[in-house]
Structure 1
Amino acid sequence: MTVIDAHQHVWDPARAPYDWLGPAMAPIDRAMGFAEVRPALRAAGVTATVLVQAADNDAGTDHMLATAAAHPEVVAVVAWIPLDASGLARARLAALRRDPHVVGVRTLVHENPDPDWILRSDVGQGLALLAQAGLAFDYVTSTPAALVHVPELAARHPQLRLVVDHLGKPPVGGGAEERAAWRRLIAAAARHPGVHAKVSGLYSACGPLDAWTTDQVRPFVEDALELFGPGRLMYGGDWPVSLLAGGYERTWEAYGKLLAPLDPDDRAAVLGGTAAGFYRIDAALLDAASDAAV
């Protein structure tokens, strides 16, 4: 079975600005390179990874592409383009698509001061470009409230493959009412067959990130499996943010326990098959990653 970590980051503040980084993010407020996470990936049996953007600038994407070129385990890159500037976005897409690693686009929607930015008409033109190019869009939220936009995005762009990062940040450790509110929002998103989701970044929603337990995460994973099915869910280790939540090994072990009840085919889908199909990852890159893992 090819295991794909569908949500991983690398960054280097010396090569690109990351406005959200700072002392409050210690110990990851520094360069975080692929070589640092490789031992944890190999120990977990992860064969390949997808790097996901962490900066709304070209330099951050260029750093990810350089990392992919240097490490065969990196089979895909979710890049950044200026979705609200269609001319610039079109030109950047033309350049990025020459690299087979580029499979999708993300922008830090949750950092934008306009909560409805993603629904603007100029952004819609950028999303239409992605659909035309056959690239996916990662939708990131900081709270479940932003999930309200997903059904509208899916309706406006029916050809766009959409994935909700981190299950839309469910209220892990919260109360029954909060869970019910999250479930209503994620269920509305799941009703659109083109919408997928990542079982990733499921940390405590109140207090320290590492305050979560496997039992606290369990109901949200069970809800996601019910609403999306394994064929629209993908595993993500969320390194290096996961270092703030107990480490890569802890999150991998927790998700392993939560996915253990699935039959082998369904578990294989969440742990790799869904990501390979959704992102349309190049088969040659997957083969190279498997060879590197031997």
Structure 2
Amino acid sequence: MTVVDAHQHFWNLETGSYPWLTPASGPIFRTFEPAELLPQLAAAGVERTVLVQAMDSYADTDAMLARADAHDVIGAVVGWVPLWRPGEAAEALERYRRHPKFAGVRHLIHDEPDPDWVLRDSVVEGLRLLAAAGLPFDVVAVLPRHLEHVPVLAERVPGLRMVIDHLAKPPIKEKGWEPWASLLARAAECPQVYAKVSGLNTAADAAIWTADDLRPYVEHALESFGPERLMFGSDWPVALLAGDYAKVWRETGAVLSGLPAAGRAAVLGGTATRFYGMEEPG
């Protein structure tokens, strides 16, 4: 089994522009490069990662692909193209698809002033380009409304595979449940929709969270999707807002410990390897 971290980031504040990163971001308002993460991956036994865009820009995507060229541990890159400008997006996809590790697209839809941005006709046209290219779409679902859009997109773009980042940020700190639980289950009814068991620590109480806080939400996701449509991700370095890599790995592993071996292997690597079309380490 290849162990995969299906959601991590790098950024360099000297060479890239990340307007959402400000001094208010605390410990993550600095540069993060592979040299810092590699020993932490090794300690956890993680063999591959999926490097995910942190800004809606070509510069960020180009920088990620350059890092992927330099580091075999990066098995796939989820980049960005301007989905709402389908002509330009088609040209960008043609260019990026030549890179063997370009494996998907994401847009920071939660930063768009219009909460229904992803349903615009121009964006849907862009998403149809992804479907035609066999590339999946990472869905940033922060508001319940974002999660509501997933079944709508599944109907409008039936060939598009989607993965919901961070289980759509369940209300763990508040010990809330609805409407998150019903909306996630509804999204899971669409067979081309997957989800990431990632970013949950920053939805919990940063100071005291443990596996027990995450468990009911992960169990609901397992019941809804099954392990073959779920994948582990660290969300490093955002994870540093509520712990560190080792704690996220340890506590997520504790939540998954009751699964049969095959299910655990799927969540910890098999699903991501298949979903993003990654090559096995050789």
TM over 0.5: yes
Paired with 2:80 and 2:62, the residues of 1 have a C-alpha distance of 10
Partner of 2:281: 287
Paired with 1:109 and 1:209, the residues of 2 have a C-alpha distance of 25
Paired with 1:135 and 1:204, the residues of 2 have a C-alpha distance of 28
Q: CA deviation at 1:16?
A: 1.9
Matched position secondary structure for 2:28: coil
Paired with 1:63 and 1:210, the residues of 2 have a C-alpha distance of 33
Q: CA deviation at 1:13?
A: 2.0
1:213-252 matches, cutoff 5 A? 213-252=210-249
Partner of 1:87: 87
Percentage of pairs with the same residue? 53
For the 8 Å contact 1:10–1:34, the answer to whether it is kept is yes
Alignment pair present for 1:264 and 2:258:
no
For the 8 Å contact 1:106–1:139, the answer to whether it is kept is yes
Paired with 2:253 and 2:69, the residues of 1 have a C-alpha distance of 30
Shift of the 209–146 alpha-carbon distance from structure 1 to 2, 3 Å rule, reads farther
Q: CA deviation at 1:204?
A: 4.8
Q: CA deviation at 1:41?
A: 0.5
Matched position secondary structure for 2:160: coil
Matched position secondary structure for 1:173: coil
For the 8 Å contact 2:115–2:145, the answer to whether it is kept is no
Q: CA deviation at 1:212?
A: 2.5
Q: CA deviation at 1:257?
A: 0.3
Partner of 1:292: none
Partner of 2:22: 22
Partner of 1:197: 195
Paired with 2:8 and 2:257, the residues of 1 have a C-alpha distance of 22
Matched position secondary structure for 1:26: helix
Q: CA deviation at 1:210?
A: 4.2
Paired with 2:76 and 2:125, the residues of 1 have a C-alpha distance of 24
Structure 1 residue runs without a partner (length 5+): 289-294
Aligned residues: 282
The residue identity in structure 1 corresponding to 2:102 is V
Shift of the 68–204 alpha-carbon distance from structure 1 to 2, 3 Å rule, reads closer
For the 8 Å contact 1:172–1:212, the answer to whether it is kept is no
Of stretches 38-47 and 137-146 in structure 1, the one that deviates more from structure 2 is: 137-146
TM-score by length of 2: 0.97
Structural RMSD (CA): 1.2
Of stretches 136-145 and 219-228 in structure 1, the one that deviates more from structure 2 is: 136-145
For the 8 Å contact 1:203–1:211, the answer to whether it is kept is no
Partner of 1:291: none
Of stretches 210-219 and 244-253 in structure 1, the one that deviates more from structure 2 is: 210-219
Structure 2 residue runs without a partner (length 5+): none
